[in-house]
Amino acid sequence: MGTISWDEFAAIDLRVGRVIDVQDFPEARKPAFQIKVDFGDEIGIRKSSAQLTDLYSKDDLLGKQIIGVVNLLPKQIGPIISEFLITGFIQKDGSVILAVPDKTAEVGGKLS
């Protein structure tokens, strides 16, 4: 992978959000959930899909704080428009471990 400048990194808007709704996403090509996340007053509530079904249940995710990229262009994923990217670490087996704050953070807080 190539390197990026500080300005390029600063252009990525990573925010803390809280998962407020999780639904099954049977139309997805790979097992996934439809999720809604509250990113606070400035960003609001956004929806996306997430391939987290290997390691997380809907109950595990509901209320969980996550880190999301909120300034990507919307992307059509099956019948829904993804409005942010939830961050995580892809494992060798394809499962994803969420990237999360290790303490409760202010919803909408920006990663620096």
pLDDT at 112: 84
Whether residue 92 is predicted with pLDDT greater than 90 in this model: the reply is yes
By the 8 A CB rule, do 34 and 47 touch? yes
Run of H or E including 7: helix 6-10
pTM: 0.94
Which superfamily does 9-98 belong to? Nucleic acid-binding proteins (2.40.50.140)
Residue extents of the structural domains in the chain? 9-98
Averaged pLDDT for residues 23-49? 96
pLDDT confidence band for 42 (50 / 70 / 90): very high
pLDDT confidence band for 56 (50 / 70 / 90): very high
Averaged pLDDT for residues 31-51? 97
Angle at 66 between CA 64 and CA 69, to 5 degrees: 155
Run of H or E including 45: strand 45-50
pLDDT confidence band for 105 (50 / 70 / 90): very high
